[in-house]
Amino acid sequence: MVKIKYWIIALLAVAMGIGAAVYLFPRDVRKVKKQFNLLSEWVSKDLGENTFTLAHKTRSLSTLFTEKFEIKTEIESMSGSYSPEEISSYAARGRLMFSYLSLSFHDLDISFPEKGIAKVVLTARLKGRSTAGENFDETHELECILRKIGKKWLFSHVEIVEVLKK
Amino acid sequence: MDYYETLNKRIRQFFFPSLTPQFLIRALLVALFAYLFFGHICIPLRIKGYSMEPTYHNGSVNFLWKPHYLFSGPKRHDVVAVRFAGNRVMLLKRVIALEGETVEFRNGRLFVDGGEVKEPYVRYPCNWNLPPRQVEKNCVYVVGDNRNMPIEDHHFGQASMKRIMGIPLW
């Protein structure tokens, strides 16, 4: 009898834990985070990555963006609108210049200002080595807007936040 | 013999304590304190990069002391941590000018409000030139100690006070 009581308490504790997890991390938040994980995975490049993986990653990358994806940076030549195909093509060309590339996202602050729109402020870190052997390590704060199209959250706008203003 | 048995028992009890309610409460409190202290008050950090050489070296370990600016603002020459979106990645820089002041570099020498400011922490040669600019309200101007690189390659500038997280502990 005592054992049954303990089992019930344990089950209640587990149920409360699951409930808290669902409450604290709603489905949309998890879906938005997943998009960032995919972006990080598909932009990153391992040493000696084969052509098949390269093709898979660059093709998959285009599925993360809306038809008109906008970038806003201090660098005028980079700012503007891009189609998913253009992003794929730039990514493929860009990856050839690097032997190793790692994109990671930290401190994601996700909010939903309107229905179907997610605003994410985060720190993005891009590390890598060029084919010429030059190392680089760039960190920026980004403000991203994702739109829910169908059941998927797609990147629609990215702006680089100026942390230090010269 | 009794003495050794007691000692043995104590050692065993120290490394493999009985899971009594008191022990669990103590363990929970220690974990909670560690989380609050090392997660929000005194955050461990590893320095990566060379922008604060020779004051702080690449790969060294330190702690970020957050309560330092609870009752006062940063002063000139303070080394501060400037955050990006959160606590995970921060920049370590030195405050060289405060709000309302005009900052300028002439041949590597720092001028604040037209007067030269000595910087004993800058050890490497520097030939930076930066036209004068005024630091905006609620902002400070921060630069790294390592100026032995072209000015375009160095990450420095005006940071909002909201981004100043604290100081390194040593």
At B43 the pLDDT is: 95
| CB-based contact A166 B49, cutoff 8 Å | no
Of B113, B86, B118, B89, the closest CA to residue B102 belongs to: B113
At A6 the pLDDT is: 79
A18 HSE (CA, 13 A, CB side) = 6
Q: How far apart are CA B109 and CA B103, in angstroms?
A: 11
A26: confidence class by pLDDT, cuts 50, 70, 90: confident
How long, in residues, is chain B? 170
**Which residue in B has a C-alpha nearest to residue A123's C-alpha?**
B85
Q: 3-state class of B44 per DSSP?
A: strand
Of A96, A100, A94, the closest CA to residue A135 belongs to: A100
- What residues pair up with B24 in beta bridges, in sequence order? none
* A20, pLDDT greater than 60: yes
- For all residues of chain A together, what is the average pLDDT? 89
A122: confidence class by pLDDT, cuts 50, 70, 90: very high
| CB-based contact A123 B158, cutoff 8 Å | no
| CB-based contact B156 A106, cutoff 8 Å | no
Taking only the tens place, the pLDDT of each residue in B124-142 is 888 999 999 999 999 999 9
* A1, pLDDT greater than 60: no
All residues of chain A having their beta carbon less than 8 Å from the beta carbon of residue B142 are: 164
Q: What is the CA radius of gyration of chain B?
A: 23
At B1 the pLDDT is: 60
At A49 the pLDDT is: 82
Burial class (CB in 10 A: 0-12, 13-18, 19+), A38: middle
Q: Across residues B26-42, what is the average pLDDT?
A: 95
B80: confidence class by pLDDT, cuts 50, 70, 90: very high
| CB-based contact B159 A109, cutoff 8 Å | no
At A123 the pLDDT is: 96
CATH 2.10.109.10 fits B47-168, yes or no: yes
* B82, pLDDT greater than 60: yes
Structure tokens that stand for B54 in this block: 């020779």
At B27 the pLDDT is: 92
> For B66, which DSSP code?
G
**Cα A10 vs. chain centroid, distance in angstroms?**
36
Measure the CA angle with vertex A127, ends A121 and A130; round to 5°. 140
**For the sheet containing B115-117, what is the strand order?**
B115-117, B109-112, B102-106, B130-134
Burial class (CB in 10 A: 0-12, 13-18, 19+), A143: middle
At B91 the pLDDT is: 95
Taking only the tens place, the pLDDT of each residue in A123-163 is 999 999 988 888 888 899 999 999 999 889 999 999 999 99
Q: Across residues B3-12, what is the average pLDDT?
A: 88
| CB-based contact B49 A106, cutoff 8 Å | no
Scan for tokens 């060379």, then name that residue. B50
All residues of chain A having their beta carbon less than 8 Å from the beta carbon of residue B82 are: 163-164
**Cα B162 vs. chain centroid, distance in angstroms?**
15
| CB-based contact A163 B82, cutoff 8 Å | yes
At B35 the pLDDT is: 96
Q: Distances from the Cα of B131 to the Cαs of A75, B94, B168, in angstroms?
A: 21, 19, 30
Query: Which H helix or E strand runs over A84?
Result: helix A84-96
- What residues pair up with A154 in beta bridges, in sequence order? A147
Least confident of A8-17, B33-42, B125-134: A8-17
Taking only the tens place, the pLDDT of each residue in A33-54 is 999 999 999 999 888 888 888 8
Task: Work out whether the CA dihedral B157, B160, B163, B164 comes out positive or negative.
Answer: positive
Q: How far apart are CA A142 and CA A60, in angstroms?
A: 22
All residues of chain B having their beta carbon less than 8 Å from the beta carbon of residue A106 are: 84-86, 88-89
**Domain boundary assignment for chain B:** 1-41, 47-168
The larger pLDDT score, comparing residue A75 to residue B151, is at B151
In sequence order, the 6+-apart residues with CB closer than 8 A to the CB of A68 are: A81, A83, A156
Structure tokens that stand for B108 in this block: 């590597």
Nearest to A123 among B88, B142, B158 (CB): B88
The larger pLDDT score, comparing residue B19 to residue B147, is at B147
All residues of chain A having their beta carbon less than 8 Å from the beta carbon of residue B49 are: 137
| CB-based contact A164 B157, cutoff 8 Å | yes
Residue A48: which region, alpha, beta or left (left: phi > 0; alpha: psi -120 to 50)? left
Q: What is the CA radius of gyration of chain A?
A: 20
* A25, pLDDT greater than 70: no
Q: How far apart are CA A9 and CA A14, in angstroms?
A: 9
**Which residue in B has a C-alpha nearest to residue A108's C-alpha?**
B85
Domains of chain A: 24-161 (3.10.450.50)
| CB-based contact A166 B91, cutoff 8 Å | no
Percent of chain B with pLDDT over 90: 77
The size of the A-B interface in CB pairs under 8 A is 51
Least confident of A17-26, A64-73, B144-153, B157-166: A17-26
